[in-house]
Amino acid sequence: MAEITLQDIIKPENLVYQKTKLMTDKTLSYCPGCGHGTAHRLIMEVIEELGKENDTIGVAPVGCSVLAYEFMNVDMQEAAHGRAPAVATAIKRLWPGKVVFSYQGDGDLAAIGTAETIHACNRGERIVMVFINNGIYGMTGGQMAPTTLPNMKTATSPYGRDIDMMGNPLKMTELVSYLPGTYFVTRQAVHTPAAVRKAKRALRMAFQNQIDGKPGVSFVEIVSNCNSGWKMEPVQANTWMEENMFPFYQLGDIKVDGKLIDR
Amino acid sequence: MGELRLMKGNEALAEAAIRAGVDGYFGYPITPQSEVIEYLMSEKPHERTGMVVLQAESEVASINMLYGGGGTGKKVMTSSSSPGISLMQEGLSYLAGAEIPCVVANVVRGGPGLGDIQPAQSDYFQSVKGGGHGDYRLFVIAPASVQEMSDFVPLAFDVAFKYRIPSLIVSDGLIGQMMEKVELFDPIPRLTDEEVIARYPWATNGKPKGKERRILTSLDLDPHKMERHNWALQEKYKLIEENETRFELIGCDDADYIIVAYGSSSRIAQKSIQLAREKGIKVGLLRLITLWPFPKKPIEEFVNKGIKGFLTVEMSAGQMIEDVKLVVESRAKVEHFGRYGGVIHSPEEVLEALEQKLIGG
């Protein structure tokens, strides 16, 4: 029997997975183990599969994903810190036939940009808002975020988040789900193959809602790890996330087709 | 002759926005310019021209909506008054950095802080020196009449798109609130989506088939690339200084003294130079139309002609005077007069100041 070479395997009919052409070849700036890269890829795969690569405008935030536009191979705008929902609002209002999404972290969306987030959601802008929640400010070196869990240690809560002194973590996704302007609100994760598949389904539904002209924001939170900020190894960070983040930030759909899910 | 109407300055600005083919206005109410968005909402511009008008949750949101909308190549505009314009400074810096065209109108009121709601010109520094962070300029133009509140809207857009720079129309509560006759220009049709796509290849409105996608950002982590970007901006600003400086000379041919003023103060000063001439004092008026680029040339020429002195008249504690002094370089006397904090000077007060500070002094 002849030896099987690599050339025998690399054939179109054997192809089971391919990197989406909507991800550039640039090396991701994220730490090894971080969920951002997976989240980027899923969004781009969904846009490619929906055939919208020439009709999409993305808005990048300030934070770890400030350079998202380097990796996402569609027309992109880089917004000021927290302002992506306002930027996306105007793009969609002026180009209602295009697909518009914003991509923000928790510092961007849930702290400095709280007003823009709440009001874009409340106005019912027909955009997709992707929210990456890792409970910490990654880019600036691991400071406390509005989403930091009680007693969680960060650079600005070195003895743990003291609720009396530093306030409570903010469940932004639940909050926006109560606004009449949100159409689809869900919380997902990308740390296991099963979670990735679910997250992709959620993202596809979010973008499909927009394409179908459904009234309101489709809001997708992705609870992600920050192994560097949490000062853990990637696998350890994922376990910690499952044990600590998920009980507080419960995964699953919160609002579908404009109706709150009984959870 | 265009359509004649008696209008408030703020209404003229709003009507001009519709007629200039603006695609989107994003604003937040603040006295003394709330008539702009009120007029726009009542005119239903979405029916007249297809223009989008949206009341944002804040001036911070408004200016970032300009970033998003302007970044797609559409004509976008906002207006506010001093405290609101302060909130927009971050956004203006980003717009300048990412080279996104747009028009912002400031109907200035007394400050600092909440100040009051009366006319002032105390936002000059903020307008021309870069109210936000970084080395950037805005094209800053100052109407002195309700007519110019209308005329300067299309002009501000022309410059904004020609150079990919935010334009700032700086008026004040006096011009915003007063009613005057205005001849409205004929409507300029809004560009179609196809025209926008063809005309502005830098705009992010969906990656064209078979071409590279576009990115609009003010960020580059490589300092050498950022320096090159800054050099390019400075080259552009030099070009704007050469091509877009505007001013008006009134009664300057035989003048011994020159009043330098803009906007409302230039209207008041016109009366002052008339009163001066009745007393035999030869005074001319250099009216600044663009505040940036600053009209250096006429001042240089006055100095070379041996003018006896300049009086800057502004409704501020003396801001524009610094730019006059930079040109004069101690070769002639330069004095300031102005009431401020919302108080408007009278023509007589201006003349008195001129006599005391330049002639008597």
Distance CA B308, CA B84 (A): 40
The residues near B181 (Cβ < 8 Å, ≥ 6 apart) are: B4, B5, B6, B146, B147
3-state secondary structure of B137: coil
Under the banding of pLDDT at 50, 70 and 90, the label for residue B360 is confident
Residue of A nearest to B53 (CA): A93
Residue of B nearest to A53 (CA): B207
Mapping DSSP onto H, E and C, the string for B43-83 reads: HCHHHHCCCEEEECCCHHHHHHHHHHHHCCCCCEEEEECHH
Q: Do B215 and A69 touch (CB under 8 A)?
A: yes
Under the banding of pLDDT at 50, 70 and 90, the label for residue A1 is low
Strands B139-141 and B290-292 come out as antiparallel
Q: Does A129 touch chain B (CB under 8 A)?
A: no
Structure tokens at B169: 């129309």
CA-nearest of B185, B149, B107 to B9 is B149
Positions of E strands within chain A: 56-60, 75-78, 99-105, 128-133, 136-137, 143-144, 182-189, 217-223, 252-256, 259-260
- Domain end (from B176, B195, B214): B195
Say if residue A11 is exposed, middle or buried (CB neighbours under 10 Å; 0-12, 13-18, 19+): exposed
Count structural domains, chain B. 2
The residue with tokens 């070196």 is: A141
User: Given B61, B98, B206, which is nearest A57 (Cβ)?
Assistant: B206
Tell me if B41 is assigned to some domain.
Answer: yes
Mind listing the pLDDT tens digit for each residue in B114-138? Answer: 999 999 999 999 999 989 999 999 9
Tell me if B353 is assigned to some domain.
Answer: yes
Q: What's phi and psi for A101, nearest 5 deg?
A: -135, 150
Residue B264, domain extent: 248-360
- All residues of chain B having their beta carbon less than 8 Å from the beta carbon of residue A95 are 72, 193, 205-206
User: Given A57, A87, A93, which is nearest B52 (Cβ)?
Assistant: A93
Q: Does B130 touch chain A (CB under 8 A)?
A: no
pTM over 0.95? The answer is yes
Choice between A11 and B160, residue whose per-residue pLDDT is larger? B160
B27-42 burial: b if 16+ Cβ within 10 Å, else e:
bbebebbbbbbebbbe
Positions of E strands within chain B: 3-8, 24-27, 52-55, 76-80, 102-108, 139-141, 166-172, 179-184, 215-216, 247-250, 257-262, 283-288, 290-292, 309-313, 333-337
Q: Are residues B47 and B184 in the same domain?
A: yes
User: Given A75, A115, A118, which is nearest B207 (Cβ)?
Assistant: A75
CA-nearest of B230, B94, B217, B208 to A67 is B217
Structure tokens at B361: 């002094």
The sign of the torsion formed by the CA atoms of B7, B8, B13, B18 equals: negative
- All residues of chain A having their beta carbon less than 8 Å from the beta carbon of residue B72 are 57, 91, 94-95
| CB-based contact B202:B214 (threshold 8 Å) | yes
Please say if the pLDDT value at position A80 is more than 90: yes
For the CA atoms of B262, B268, B274, B275, the dihedral, rounded to the nearest 10 degrees, stands at -130
DSSP classification of residue A66: G
Under the banding of pLDDT at 50, 70 and 90, the label for residue A263 is confident
Q: What is the CATH number of the domain that holds B310?
A: 3.40.50.920
Q: What's phi and psi for A141, nearest 5 deg?
A: 110, 30
Q: What's phi and psi for A260, nearest 5 deg?
A: -65, 140
Tell me if B157 is assigned to some domain.
Answer: yes
- All residues of chain B having their beta carbon less than 8 Å from the beta carbon of residue A56 are 206-207
| CB-based contact B152:B143 (threshold 8 Å) | yes
Mind listing the pLDDT tens digit for each residue in A106-150? Answer: 999 999 999 999 999 999 999 999 999 999 999 999 999 999 999
Average pLDDT over residues B321-335: 98
Q: Are residues B286 and B166 in the same domain?
A: no
Q: Are residues B59 and B185 in the same domain?
A: yes
Tell me if B67 is assigned to some domain.
Answer: yes
The strand pairing partners of A105, in sequence order, are A132
Domain extents in chain A = 50-258
- Domain end (from B128, B161, B195): B195
Percent of all residues in chain A with a pLDDT value above 90, rounded to a whole number:
92
Q: Does B197 touch chain A (CB under 8 A)?
A: no
Q: Are residues B27 and B154 in the same domain?
A: yes
Q: What is the CATH number of the domain that holds B155?
A: 3.40.50.970
CA-nearest of A108, A120, A45 to A78 is A108
Q: Are residues B45 and B156 in the same domain?
A: yes
- Domain end (from B195, B214, B239): B195
Interface of A with B in 72-91 (CB under 8 A): 73-80, 83, 86-91
Q: Are residues B43 and B164 in the same domain?
A: yes
Average pLDDT over residues B308-323: 98
Please say if the pLDDT value at position A185 is more than 60: yes
Residue type, B257: Y
Q: Are residues B53 and B154 in the same domain?
A: yes
The predicted pLDDT at position A90 comes to 98
Tell me if B211 is assigned to some domain.
Answer: no
Radius of gyration for chain A, computed over Cα atoms and rounded to the nearest angstrom: 19
Under the banding of pLDDT at 50, 70 and 90, the label for residue B361 is low
Mind listing the pLDDT tens digit for each residue in B2-45? Answer: 899 999 999 999 999 999 999 999 999 999 999 999 999 999 99
- All residues of chain A having their beta carbon less than 8 Å from the beta carbon of residue B26 are 90
What ipTM was reported for this prediction?
0.97
What is the greatest pairwise CA distance in chain B? 73
Under the banding of pLDDT at 50, 70 and 90, the label for residue A187 is very high
The sign of the torsion formed by the CA atoms of B194, A83, A60, A89 equals: negative
Structure tokens at B44: 């239903």
Mind listing the pLDDT tens digit for each residue in B38-52? Answer: 999 999 999 999 999
Q: What's phi and psi for B201, nearest 5 deg?
A: -65, -15
**How far does the CA of residue B23 sit from the closest CA of chain A (Å)?**
7
Mind listing the pLDDT tens digit for each residue in B225-261? Answer: 999 999 999 999 999 999 999 999 999 999 999 999 9
Mapping DSSP onto H, E and C, the string for B174-206 reads: HHHHCEEEEEECCCCCCCCHHHHHHHCCCCCCC
Q: Do A89 and B54 touch (CB under 8 A)?
A: yes
Q: Does domain A50-258 have CATH number 3.40.50.970?
A: yes
Distance CA A262, CA B35 (A): 46
The residues near B271 (Cβ < 8 Å, ≥ 6 apart) are: B347
Mind listing the pLDDT tens digit for each residue in B250-302? Answer: 999 999 999 999 999 999 999 999 999 999 999 999 999 999 999 999 999 99
Strands A217-223 and A128-133 come out as parallel
Average pLDDT over residues A49-78: 97
The sign of the torsion formed by the CA atoms of B141, B144, B149, B155 equals: negative
Residue type, A150: P
Mean pLDDT of chain B: 97
The predicted pLDDT at position A4 comes to 87
Q: Are residues B153 and B79 in the same domain?
A: yes
Q: Do A116 and B193 touch (CB under 8 A)?
A: no
Positions of E strands within A151-192: 182-189
For the CA atoms of B115, B126, B57, B172, the dihedral, rounded to the nearest 10 degrees, stands at 60
- All residues of chain A having their beta carbon less than 8 Å from the beta carbon of residue B94 are 79-80
Q: Are residues B153 and B278 in the same domain?
A: no
The predicted pLDDT at position A2 comes to 75
